[in-house]
Amino acid sequence: MKKLNKLLSLLLVIAMLMPGFAYNVSAAADEDVCSDWAAWDIFMAEAAYNLGDKDTYSDFQGDLTWGKFEPVLISLQEKLLDGKYYSANADNKSLLKRADVITHLYITIITALEIEEGNTIDYFVENGIMKGRADGDYQLDNTCTVEEMLVFAVRTYEYIIRELGLDSKGFFWRVTGENNTIYLLGSIHISDGSLYPLNIEIEKAFESSANFVVEVHDNPSEEDIEYYMMKGYILDGTTIEDYLDPDIYEFYEWVCQSLGIPKEVYDYLQPWLAEFELGYLSYAMTSQDDDIDDLYDNLNEMISLGIESHFIPRALAGGKNILQLESLRHQADFLSSFSPELQEVLLFWTLVEFYELITGESFFGDEYAIEDALADESGGLLELLAVWKSGDEVIWREMSWVDYEWENPLDIEYNYIMGTLRNIAMTEQIIIFLTEGEDDYFIVVGTAHMFGADGIVELLIAEGYEVERII
């Protein structure tokens, strides 16, 4: 029953594509809980930037020792200094002051950026790496805490990456209304952390906007959840077997059983929901992880590093209005409107992908087989992340096929429902924000919805709005 409940929860999380992600670091003992002001940086240090080791992330409010700091410093050197390592040869138990930490991090900065040494404190303050002391008293002689060190380390890492031009450019636009500005950021819903840090212009626009908007809010109403489940689950006494070709059902059953999904779950999913959920789970599967618990944990981590999850905790903490362009109900309507033929075809191709992930063999008998979703060099997640990071519109449009003239009726149906209809509906809501709102809006929508003749950008331009690509 525990596994069944976990899977049902996962189905809703994936459907919303926005987890209620708690980024505060949790642990058993009180001293292992970090301060609220440091929580986001500590999450990024561990989950996205992989700074330090497993012993780094404990006793956050305790005094910092060299033994705690050195693994973080080594991580920074390995990532940024191209083999130019240095060590202080200090005793692991020696305590470090805030000034000591800043000095070591400053050496990392000037080495990585190949700049002349200057005044350490002035440099940190002028470049926003050290903040919060309007009177100029930075308490540099105080013993540094572990969480203070991690915050300084994250800011140092992000600063260097941006100075080197290695930050993510993404796909980011500004739309000018009569009384406000709307920022549009194309999203990738799941990530391995390599997208960060984002370009500083994206972060500034987010900070300056009073409203944060996603496709679907992570806190739907009970009515919407019930509606989604009514649409997605088979409740009339039949099973998915009654909706599929016998060979495809047998294939589906084999994949689900291979993943440890209970029959009482997989038999009662509508084909569209089965495909939708399995499609996202496939991104989380590696050659080492093939159990549903592994996939659940992997996917949850990947969602927590997606673009929406990068912003929503800070939107909540900053008191921004959090709005949605669609709803869980709308998504259920779109997905369930696929014809039975399209639902079956989509499910079949997802099953093929899982077959190749599980067996390491090609379903069609040729030499190519997917061994790991994250290592798939033929259009897998890593390639999508790399293109998003570069902001290369030409390559993205090629990979997403937004300009392709489809001829197959099922292709036309899929792109019309998932692209055209949804884009029109979301654009209509954006125009409401532009005409009725006075404060600025920061909107995060899947990048696939931005491009093409019926993409959000072109639809807004057709309505007479000025849309400017910022990055």
pLDDT of 163 reads 97
pLDDT for the residue 373: 37
Tokens of 372: 């790991």
Q: Is-contact 42 74, C-beta < 8 A?
A: no
Q: Which pLDDT score is estimated for 17?
A: 40
- Alpha-carbon gap, residue 68 to 58, rounded angstroms: 10
Q: How far apart are CA 56 and CA 60, in angstroms?
A: 9
Confidence of residue 309 (pLDDT cuts 50, 70, 90): very high
pLDDT of residue 75: 95
> What residue type is 335 in one-letter code?
L
Tally of residues, the chain: 471
- Which of the four pLDDT bands, split at 50, 70 and 90, describes residue 375? very low
Over residues 283-312, mean pLDDT: 79
The per-residue pLDDT for range 102-123, each reduced to its tens digit, is 999 999 999 999 999 999 999 9
Confidence of residue 366 (pLDDT cuts 50, 70, 90): low
Q: Express each pLDDT in 255-275 by its tens digit.
A: 999 888 899 999 999 999 999
> What confidence score (pLDDT) does residue 9 get?
45
Are 433 and 328 within 8 A, CB to CB? no
- 46-78 pLDDT, tens digit each: 999 999 999 999 999 999 999 999 999 999 999
Q: What's the rounded Cα separation, in Å, for the pair 111 and 78?
A: 12
CA distance 435 to 384: 34
Q: pTM (2 decimals)? A: 0.87
What's the rounded Cα separation, in Å, for the pair 258 and 242?
Answer: 21
| Alpha helices per DSSP H over 210-291 | 222-232, 246-259, 263-266, 271-283
Best CA proximity match to 225, nearest among 212, 216, 235, 213: 216
Q: Are 344 and 248 in contact (CB under 8 A)?
A: yes
Q: Please compute the mean of the pLDDT values over residues 178-199 and round it to a whole number.
A: 94
* pLDDT tens digits for range 319-356: 999 999 999 999 999 999 999 999 999 999 999 988 98
Domain ranges of the chain: 34-163, 172-469
Per-residue pLDDT reduced to its tens digit, 209-224: 999 999 988 778 889 9
Q: Of 2-6, 165-169, 383-387, 416-420, which gets the smallest average pLDDT? A: 2-6
Q: For the residues 380-405, what does the mean pLDDT come to? A: 90
Q: Tens of pLDDT along 377-388?
A: 334 788 889 999
User: 10 Å Cβ neighbour count for 324?
Assistant: 19
Measuring CA to CA, which residue among 16, 419, 403 is closest to residue 189? Answer: 16
**Average of per-residue pLDDT across 115-144:** 88
